[in-house]
Structure 1
């Protein structure tokens, strides 16, 4: 028995005419008649009554037609999935990233579903505004972005929440504590990038300080994390907040990194993709984002319990 014989049987059963079935299948009528005869011999039963002027289904043919259709639907599903997997195995996803993802990028790649294991990634380190514009233009498939609640034309998939940590001179008396209240830093100049360079971080920190009961004192603008840390380590009065994923880059013993007591200052990391993105790639990125979010949430709960 061959699948094409099932296909011919279903076509004739639905058309009740060998000629129309042949036209529908784009083959000659003799081939259809021949293959249906072979199927009947294989099954040892008659599927069609050809004794009259019209073709009709026998009771056996009527009973087998639903199963025949299910077989063909299963074949279509099988073929579609094979094409999708083949496309994914050859696919390259272009993703915009920031420079401070650290091990979180590994977490994202580890969360890739099994059916996307062959997907290749090309990463581009760009500023946040450029990342979003490149996704909108279709030059990037997705981008990691922080702190956005919405973005026109884009879908934002929550990945995780980064709890910011305090960096201050190791020689400062506050550095001797295991944790800090944000209010402890009142009066000490904050080193942070200007708002026009990083509005998400700037607004988040300023709002958190106000919530803690003080107006932050803004020190000299930060031109880059490493430069700022070097100034702080050299004794320049000040402090800054940094993402925990960047903490591993701090090697100076002149810098103390401390978590905040109480309610943490967090910034959401999302994956941005176009609302009209290719459905297969969108499904892959949604599944990956869901998995990495669950994994990091489990790790956070485990750390809290310890």
Structure 2
């Protein structure tokens, strides 16, 4: 669950993976989860296929974490903990009586969004937040139609009839073979990568991100050759580690998971900007609370 473009890992799969690791076997994990053992085995195998690694060493006598499983288990726990934090904060907000903030987000809003909810809860303890997770187009149309008060969007530059209020920005992460000479640097410039084939998802997969990247290529004066197709992020990273040198880039929404044979390096530019899409005009009280929380999170005064 790194970004909106590239993963289909389900939370249930991560939960089953962690339960098997905790209980030391599929049968005991199934008992704890109150599901059948075949369901646990099936979901773990799907997770292994999705990640491209074997998570457990299995035999008729024991089930133990593989080396890859041991490395990925803390990351799975981090994801599950972040989701639980989001649910807990949102539930706490929803349980109180007062105004309602209707907020649209993508499927993986990330840790900064959780922090924003926590700041909002502290500043407006009586505010109830209704979260709607949906596509970018549906979020924007919801704000225009008035069914959403605001939408969290990434790398959207301009939308007719809406205001885009920057909330925070994140550096982009480049993934390249660990043995490549550029992997020795802590931070990379796009100009350094101009000769290395790039794996970039088609524009239709995430138009704002695709535009951000291609505009940055032009600004840096590079036109990297096209590498193999970008599919899902985990699948692409696994292939990248075992193929001719190439690279890809993404914005993180949580800790970057370890991947054997891959080096992850921050790019000096561009940055991925998260904004709030809102209707023009004076904000209603629920939206004012959200804007004030964004300002507080950034350490800035609120002037709306």
- Bigger Cα Rg: 1
Structure 1 residue 213: deviation in Å?
2.4
Structure 2: distance between partners of 1:120 and 1:220: 46
Cα RMSD over matched residues?
Answer: 2.6
Structure 2 residue aligned with 1:289: 294
- Structure with more helix by fraction: 1
Structure 1 residue aligned with 2:188: 180
* Greater RCO, 1 or 2 (C-alpha within 8 Å, sep 6+): 2
Structure 1: distance between partners of 2:206 and 2:195: 22
2:111 maps to which of 103, 112, 121: 103
2:204 maps to which of 196, 205, 217: 196
2:132 maps to which of 116, 121, 124: 124
C-alpha contact (below 8 Å) 1:113/1:284 kept by paired residues: no
- TM-score in terms of structure 1 length: 0.59
Structure 1 residue 256: deviation in Å?
1.0
C-alpha contact (below 8 Å) 2:103/2:129 kept by paired residues: yes
Tell me how many residue pairs correspond in the alignment: 206
Structure 2: distance between partners of 1:156 and 1:278: 13
- TM-score in terms of structure 2 length: 0.60
Structure 1 residue aligned with 2:213: 205
C-alpha contact (below 8 Å) 2:121/2:127 kept by paired residues: no
Structure 1: distance between partners of 2:121 and 2:215: 38
Other structure's SS at 1:112 match: helix
Aligned pairs for 1:220-239 (under 5 A) are: 220-235=228-243, 237-239=245-247
Structure 2: distance between partners of 1:208 and 1:238: 18
Structure 1 residue 236: deviation in Å?
5.1
Structure 1 residue aligned with 2:145: 137
C-alpha contact (below 8 Å) 2:97/2:127 kept by paired residues: yes
**Structure 2 segments unaligned to the other structure (5+ residues):** 1-95
**Structure 1 segments unaligned to the other structure (5+ residues):** 1-87, 296-306
Structure 1 residue 222: deviation in Å?
2.3
**1:138-166 CA distances to partner (integer Å, 9 max, x unpaired)?**
33332111223332232322101222121
1:273 maps to which of 259, 271, 278: 278
